[in-house]
A = this chain, B = another copy of it.
Amino acid sequence: MSLQFVTSQSNSVCKQIISLQQRKNRKATGLFVLEGVRGVKDALDAGWVPDLFVVSDHFLNQSDDDDTITDMLQLNVSGYQVPDGLMKKLAETETPQGLLAVFSQPVHEVETIIQQVKGFWLVLDRIQDPGNLGTLIRSAEAAGVSGVFLTKGSTDPYNSKALRAATGAVLHLPVIELSTEESDCQFLLDANVHLVAAALEQGRSYAKIPYQLPLALVIGNEANGIDQSLLNKMETRVTIPMRGQLQSLNAAIAGSILMFHIAESIGCSKR
């Protein structure tokens, strides 16, 4: 296969990509856009094949890395070449690298995920900042977490900023958006999973307590913490001691400190 030239924003491929900048359209189609050569290459290496890809004139002329494009063409992925100006409209990064690809969102079932033997999960309760969400997913993947559950009201993990912060983790680790009914996490309690709440106060110092699997660490919304009715269900609250004048850590930092401490503490192995 070879690249097809597209020069107009009203082309159907361009219209599709621009429509995927909106969450409702990502939701309706089950698709998302991954930008940048590193992200696309990692996805291919992990066995994901995009529906299509778009490359800019500049990228084709300048980049040393055209293996990625050759690989996709050999996989019979439809490829489109666009002028740099049009790429700027398709991409959401301020200075696009000139390569993006449309992938299907991985589909995971809650039931399958919680039957995994290892049993170390992360629940993110209405995290709002895409950078925080992506960073937490990246850290979860690196800490050896088995899966991430997002309660209703969380920001979209397939948002371009979240994807960038996650550096591809969403393709390696199950990330599941819970329905309104599932967002009370009763399915975890029913599976005898111990829920550990990260709390700003009234918790035990995180490094002083034993952890046992199966376990789900719950991180709350940046401004309001964990939803009160969810918090009421949890047996254990842990707090990170603040040794200075500040009252709190960034949510992604706090979650990552706790995940890595728990991973060390339970002797979590490589996934």
A interface list, Cβ under 8 A from B: 46, 131, 135, 138-139, 141-144, 165, 167-169, 172-173, 207, 240-246, 248-250, 252-253, 256-257, 260-261, 263-264, 268-271
In the complex the two chains form, what is the Cα distance from A270 to B245 in whole Å?
A: 9
* Residues in chain B near residue A256, CB distance under 8 A: 249, 253, 256-257
Bound complex: CA A3 to CA B142 (Å): 53
- The residue in A173, A249, A269 that gathers the most chain B C-beta atoms within 10 A of its C-beta is A249
Shortest Cβ-Cβ A-B pairs, 7 listed = A144-B243, A141-B244, A172-B245, A207-B264, A253-B256, A243-B270, A257-B260
Q: A177 → chain B, closest Cβ, in Å?
A: 20
Task: Evaluate contact between A249 and B172: CB separation under 8 angstroms.
Answer: no
Q: Can you report 23 A-B residue pairs in the complex whose CB atoms are below 8 A from each other?
A: A131-B131, A138-B246, A138-B250, A138-B253, A139-B250, A139-B253, A141-B244, A142-B242, A142-B243, A142-B246, A143-B243, A143-B244, A144-B243, A165-B250, A172-B245, A173-B244, A243-B263, A243-B270, A244-B271, A249-B256, A252-B253, A253-B256, A260-B261
A150: shortest Cβ distance to chain B, in Å? 18
Q: Which residues of the partner chain B approach A248 to less than 8 Å between Cβ atoms?
A: 142
Query: What number of copies of this chain does the assembly contain?
Result: 2
Residues of B near A269 (CB, < 8 A) are: 243
Question: Are the CB atoms of A244 and B135 closer together than 8 Å?
Answer: no
Check if B249 sits within 8 Å of A138, measured CB to CB.
Answer: yes
Q: With a CB–CB cut-off of 8 A, which chain B residues contact A245?
A: 46, 141, 172, 271
